[in-house]
Structure 1
Amino acid sequence: MTASSQSETDYAARARDVLGFSRWWQVAAAAVMMGLISPYQYVWSSIENPLAENLALEPTALGFVFTLFVIFQAGSQFPVGVYRDRHGPRGLTLLAGVLAGGGYVGLAYATELWQLYVLYSLGAVGVGIVYTVAVNTALKWFPDRRGLTTGFGTMAFAAGSALFVPYVRANATATGYPEVLRNMGLLIGVGILVGAVVLRDPPAGWAGGSTGTQKADSEGQSEANDESAGEATDGGAAVSGKQYTWKEMARTWQFWLMYVMFVCVSGAGLMLTAKVVSFAQNVGLNAVTATASATVLPIAGGVGRLVVGDLSDRVDRERAMAVAFTLCGLGLFAVVWFGESNSSLGFLAAVVIATFFWSPQYTLFPSVVGDYYGQRHSSANYALLYSGKMWGGIFGGGVAGWLVTVTSWTTAFALGGGLAVVAGLAALALREPSPESS
């Protein structure tokens, strides 16, 4: 048995002693919840027009709903992460079920524009809670397989919407959408509430094997007990590594370099996600190609997160970042090239490549944060880094739209490709911080 397989066996045995069942059930519950909340990000474009039509509004009046979603979804994660690291995931996840499920149910009865903004923003907070809980459940229970397990959860967030899209598209009319939203809201709410019963955090010392048969019920685990456990008991890349708080992490140059990289890559990817259909239409590609590009995008993203995440467990993680983000940038350049050349097949292939290598940022970054800064404060640490998605969303939405107006679609997409390549090159400078640096 190799050293890596022996380590995996040890962690699995310790987790079974603590939980009474396989730790993979924690990842499965997290992945199901991620799939349930995915419509908030990936189905908005299908319900935007029916909502506007029912309220007798122009679709442009709803233009900032998605921007606010990104801001609240990303911005909520840091306080959520701090609370979760101290008190566990259960109470937060119950709240997320109410917010995310209730947000969609409320939209079915909204009669004013301001209600749409408030309800979608509240739902976004629920999405943010589920996202940070799910990703960090993988980090806490799988210090040996961070890339693969975060890949499962984030793949579900990207690809889960594919299960909702046919139902939404078939019923997304001004008269039919309220029932769609009610049904989806109830499914989201009930599914998250069930997941909250399953999820729990490992007790302090679990990764070092000192837990015996103690059951993990992190709701009763106090911050004092968490801090009193020796630094050698909670796993980072090496289990004995220093466990950084978010303040200590923010004093390392590696965090700020990753933050800039995160903004660059998320800006490029969110621009593609939000505007791929408009780009295709404006460069003269046919409607079938435009629709197909929106369909393959979440599927390519989901597969990319899982495949690249698993690969990053086997190779140098920084090198995986460098290759993935550079190929994302080259894929965006190819989107421009094939779009201008009016090649439908080339355009679709380029969209798949760009998305396949952009989407793994949501697997690679949390894994590197766990490698560099340990798992004890991983929820808060990654949530702080994830806040860069807010700035990426602003670029991918408002800034990209402004660039299109003052320059051209080609220039805007080419700039996005350039940002991704810059992030890929920057990854080559990353290395694990020394404990003295904080």
Structure 2
Amino acid sequence: MAEVDIATQAHEELGFSRWWQIVAAVVMMALVSPYQYVWSSIQEPLANDLGVSLPALGAVFTLYVIFQSGTQFPAGWWRDRHGPQTMTVVAGLLAGGGYVGLAYANELWQVYFLYSLGAIGVGIVYTIAVNTAVKWFPDRRGLTTGAGTMAFAAGSALFVPYVRANATVSAFASVLENVGLLIGIGVIVGALVLRDPPDDWPNDTETPDKNKADLISDPSQTAQSTAMNPSVNRTPQYTWDEVVRTWQFWVMYAMFVGISGANLMLAANLIPFAENLGIAAFIATASATVLPIADGIGRLGVGGISDRIGRERSMIATFSLCGIGLFLLVGMGAIGSTLGFLGAVVIAASFEGTQYTLFPSVIGDYYGEEHSSTNYAILYSAKMVGGIFGGAAVSWIVGVTNWTTAFLIGGVLALIAGLGATVLRAPDTEA
């Protein structure tokens, strides 16, 4: 069977099971997750420690999104050519050093600088971890990319209780230093495990030339056929400049902007939205705790399902359900249903982050594995545009209208992203 054959080939190349590549990727993603998902818990103690107002730290998260997203193209380009280990070690030093440095920061500009520096490390870890799954698991892309992105979302649940329990000024420096050391050491150890497959891997040992010719003559069957028999390398290996000349890329880029805008809006503004609606404080706290857990579980589950029903169908369903969840969030808040509000958070959160599983899988399906790190990094840059909506644009909308309008627009963006998936198909020509 193809699945057995590809696993055997991987073991011969590595000397151990390819699943250890995913274990390393998952652990590293969980370790760097505090930068995105624990910021809301550390910003107030940081402000108190520095003696500045909370709004003075307002642009830190925006810079994080810019540096974390913008780093991925050069990091992916390097990794595709030189392998993952050197860049991962650098990422460990940057991401770990950023948090350790925060423990000793005594000026506002130092926080901005250190968090941006750490964001570069997070971006490197992210692109290397996700594309490790794409490269080693052409037969299980959805499941394995889902595992990594799940860890990035849900891993923060392990840090939040520790951070919040020690949020006093006197204890906070040691908290930041301990987290930073854990990040740095863990990522560097993970780097020792990571490898990339050779360019001609997996080897074609099973499919006759006639069958390969039939598949190449009908590229629309590429993604489905690859999932059925991944040992056959029949997907053209597109470079990034060839990828951006396909219409599919630009449809996906627009979809990514829409769904990531909705995703970042919810993650960054759930607590103030709930407080504005008069939702009880314990429900708001429970919602913020449930959000990353539901997000992570959704990424893993949808990734595995997409291996069976297809990426495009999965996008249509999950992006639309995210939009519906945001509409329900507004509705439950309007009628004052606290349990309904919490349930709506679970629905929206379960599907808000699935693009981080589905899009790297589609990039591998459509454009091949050889340049997947670079190609996905180009698409991932759409997160910066989505971040403008999730951050600055939402603040402006709330200022001129209200929170309800902002969240309704987020729901519409998610629905439009789902609609975009209805036209996607594999490119018709070889690169």
TM bucket (normalised to shorter chain) is over 0.9
Instruction: Identify the residue that residue 311 of structure 1 maps to in structure 2.
Output: 305
In the alignment, is residue 334 of structure 1 matched against residue 332 of structure 2?
Answer: no
SS at match of 1:435: coil
Q: Please give the per-residue CA displacement for 1:79-115, whole angstroms capped at 9, x wherever unaligned.
A: 1101100000000000001000000000000010000
**Please, which of 369, 382, 387 is the counterpart of residue 381 of structure 2?**
387
Listed as ranges, the matches of 1:277-426 within 5 Å are: 277-426=271-420
Once residues 367 and 230 of structure 2 are traced to their aligned partners in structure 1, the CA distance between those partners, rounded to angstroms, is: 6
Once residues 231 and 328 of structure 2 are traced to their aligned partners in structure 1, the CA distance between those partners, rounded to angstroms, is: 36
Partner AA of 2:277 in structure 1? V
In the alignment, is residue 59 of structure 1 matched against residue 54 of structure 2?
Answer: yes
In the alignment, is residue 121 of structure 1 matched against residue 116 of structure 2?
Answer: yes
Once residues 116 and 135 of structure 2 are traced to their aligned partners in structure 1, the CA distance between those partners, rounded to angstroms, is: 28
Q: For residue 208 of structure 1, report the CA deviation from its aligned partner.
A: 2.1
Instruction: Identify the residue that residue 92 of structure 1 maps to in structure 2.
Output: 87
Q: For residue 435 of structure 1, report the CA deviation from its aligned partner.
A: 2.0
Instruction: Identify the residue that residue 226 of structure 1 maps to in structure 2.
Output: none
CA contact (8 A) 1:237 1:370 kept: no
CA contact (8 A) 1:14 1:209 kept: no
CA contact (8 A) 2:92 2:183 kept: yes
CA contact (8 A) 1:26 1:137 kept: yes
In the alignment, is residue 171 of structure 1 matched against residue 169 of structure 2?
Answer: no
Instruction: Identify the residue that residue 429 of structure 2 maps to in structure 1.
Output: 435
CA contact (8 A) 2:332 2:338 kept: yes
Partner AA of 1:167 in structure 2? Y
SS at match of 1:314: helix
SS at match of 1:431: coil
**Please, which of 189, 197, 200 is the counterpart of residue 194 of structure 1?**
189
CA contact (8 A) 2:5 2:231 kept: no
Q: Please give the per-residue CA displacement for 1:267-293, whole angstroms capped at 9, x wherever unaligned.
A: 001000000010000011110111111
CA contact (8 A) 2:203 2:232 kept: no
In the alignment, is residue 156 of structure 1 matched against residue 165 of structure 2?
Answer: no
In the alignment, is residue 26 of structure 1 matched against residue 13 of structure 2?
Answer: no
Pairwise CA RMSD of aligned residues? 1.3
Instruction: Identify the residue that residue 244 of structure 1 maps to in structure 2.
Output: 238
SS at match of 1:17: helix
Once residues 361 and 7 of structure 1 are traced to their aligned partners in structure 2, the CA distance between those partners, rounded to angstroms, is: 28
CA contact (8 A) 1:236 1:371 kept: no
CA contact (8 A) 2:237 2:369 kept: yes
SS at match of 1:251: coil
Partner AA of 1:147 in structure 2? G
Once residues 168 and 42 of structure 2 are traced to their aligned partners in structure 1, the CA distance between those partners, rounded to angstroms, is: 8
C-alpha spacing 1:393/1:236, structure 2 compared with 1 (3 Å): farther
In the alignment, is residue 82 of structure 1 matched against residue 74 of structure 2?
Answer: no
CA contact (8 A) 2:202 2:231 kept: no
CA contact (8 A) 2:2 2:231 kept: no
Once residues 376 and 230 of structure 2 are traced to their aligned partners in structure 1, the CA distance between those partners, rounded to angstroms, is: 13
C-alpha spacing 1:329/1:209, structure 2 compared with 1 (3 Å): same
Matched length:
409
Gap runs ≥5 in structure 1: 1-5, 211-231
Partner AA of 1:360 in structure 2? T
TM-score (ref. length: structure 1): 0.92
Instruction: Identify the residue that residue 264 of structure 1 maps to in structure 2.
Output: 258
Instruction: Identify the residue that residue 214 of structure 1 maps to in structure 2.
Output: none
Q: For residue 388 of structure 1, report the CA deviation from its aligned partner.
A: 0.6
Once residues 313 and 25 of structure 2 are traced to their aligned partners in structure 1, the CA distance between those partners, rounded to angstroms, is: 28
Q: For residue 204 of structure 1, report the CA deviation from its aligned partner.
A: 1.3
Q: For residue 312 of structure 1, report the CA deviation from its aligned partner.
A: 0.0
Q: For residue 237 of structure 1, report the CA deviation from its aligned partner.
A: 10
CA contact (8 A) 1:309 1:363 kept: yes
Partner AA of 1:51 in structure 2? L
Instruction: Identify the residue that residue 254 of structure 1 maps to in structure 2.
Output: 248
TM-score (ref. length: structure 2): 0.93
C-alpha spacing 1:236/1:270, structure 2 compared with 1 (3 Å): farther
Q: For residue 7 of structure 1, report the CA deviation from its aligned partner.
A: 1.8
**Please, which of 97, 106, 117 is the counterpart of residue 101 of structure 2?**
106
Q: For residue 241 of structure 1, report the CA deviation from its aligned partner.
A: 1.7
Instruction: Identify the residue that residue 137 of structure 1 maps to in structure 2.
Output: 132
SS at match of 1:194: helix
CA contact (8 A) 1:237 1:372 kept: no
Q: For residue 236 of structure 1, report the CA deviation from its aligned partner.
A: 7.9
- Which has the higher mean CA deviation after the structures are superposed, 35-44 or 236-245? 236-245
Once residues 287 and 401 of structure 1 are traced to their aligned partners in structure 2, the CA distance between those partners, rounded to angstroms, is: 22
CA contact (8 A) 1:236 1:373 kept: no
